[in-house]
């Protein structure tokens, strides 16, 4: 049965079937209880406006279906999208991007990115390198906001030759400053120099870090010598960098 056609001037636009109301369908159906069903052959929409947003086609907010995806869109470019539970804000999608929680409105505190991926670790010389080959080169990362959690393993099959200091290269993102921050210690085997510690320290605004060592307790930071890497050297570890990406 059709209702309200005299108000909206579209015959049979609204249909009542039992306890269900349909717009754009003559047979509205719900899983249980009472349902409002909005149907279109491609993009059914429910649009919400008020005097602040205006009533133009690009104003307000919309709930629609795109293919099989549910789409909730706030069309106001400078407005946030907020979710409440029990009268309190629990989650906010900020207008400039990012998600904040429990009523926090600061853009700097918004979680703006999550990403997982791979990277290819390699050792280079600060001046040059040549002739390297690897049995394994595996790197993985998880990026949460501006923090990047990296892990890797590499194993030489031929060390080749190096000029300058040893550098771990290939990070998935550039490191933010300041410089000389120790990123973490490395597991090592088959190195050609007696060491008690191998670490990485960052190079700001670059996707690499210097390799440094300690050969005895109480000594300041040292740099590996030319015998440090062998054809069988294995290095592995995990570290965290902060990035502006």
| pLDDT value of position 5 | 41
User: What is the predicted pLDDT for the residue at 30?
Assistant: 87
The pLDDT tens digits of the residues spanning 93-144 come to 999 999 999 999 999 999 999 999 999 999 999 999 999 999 999 999 999 9
First-to-last C-alpha distance (Å) of the chain: 58
How many Å apart are CA 146 and CA 71, to the nearest integer?
27
Q: Using DSSP bridges, classify how beta strands 147-158 and 99-101 pair: parallel, antiparallel or unpaired.
A: unpaired
Question: Of the candidates 163, 216, 164, 209, which has an alpha carbon nearest to the alpha carbon of residue 186?
Answer: 209
Q: What is the DSSP letter of 40?
A: -
Do residues 234 and 193 make contact, with C-beta atoms less than 8 angstroms apart?
A: no
Q: How confident is the model at residue 11 (pLDDT cuts 50, 70, 90)?
A: low
Q: C-alpha 134: how far from its chain's center?
A: 29
Average of per-residue pLDDT across 174-202: 93
């Amino acid at each position: 049965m059709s209702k309200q056609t005299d108000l909206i001037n579209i015959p049979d636009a609204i249909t009542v079937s039992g306890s269900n109301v349909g717009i754009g369908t003559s047979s509205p159906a719900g899983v249980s209880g009472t349902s409002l069903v909005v149907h279109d052959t491609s993009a059914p929409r429910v649009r919400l406006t008020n005097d602040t947003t205006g009533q133009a086609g690009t104003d307000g907010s919309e709930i629609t279906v795109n293919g099989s995806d549910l789409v909730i869109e706030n069309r106001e470019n400078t407005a946030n999208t907020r979710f409440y539970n029990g009268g309190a804000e629990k989650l906010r999608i900020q207008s400039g991007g990012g998600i904040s929680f429990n009523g926090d409105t600061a853009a700097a505190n918004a979680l703006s990115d999550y990403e997982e991926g791979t990277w290819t670790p390699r050792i280079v010389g600060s001046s040059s390198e040549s002739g390297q080959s690897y049995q394994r080169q595996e790197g993985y990362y998880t990026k949460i906001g501006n923090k990047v959690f990296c892990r890797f393993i590499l194993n030489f099959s031929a060390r080749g030759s190096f000029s300058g200091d040893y550098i771990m290269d290939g990070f998935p993102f550039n490191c933010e400053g300041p410089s000389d921050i120790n990123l973490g210690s490395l597991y090592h085997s088959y190195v050609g120099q007696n060491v008690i510690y191998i670490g990485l320290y960052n190079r700001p605004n670059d996707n690499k870090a210097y390799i440094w060592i300690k050969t005895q307790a109480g000594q300041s930071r040292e740099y590996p010598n030319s015998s440090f890497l062998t054809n069988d050297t294995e290095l592995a570890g995990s570290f965290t960098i902060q990035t502006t990406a």
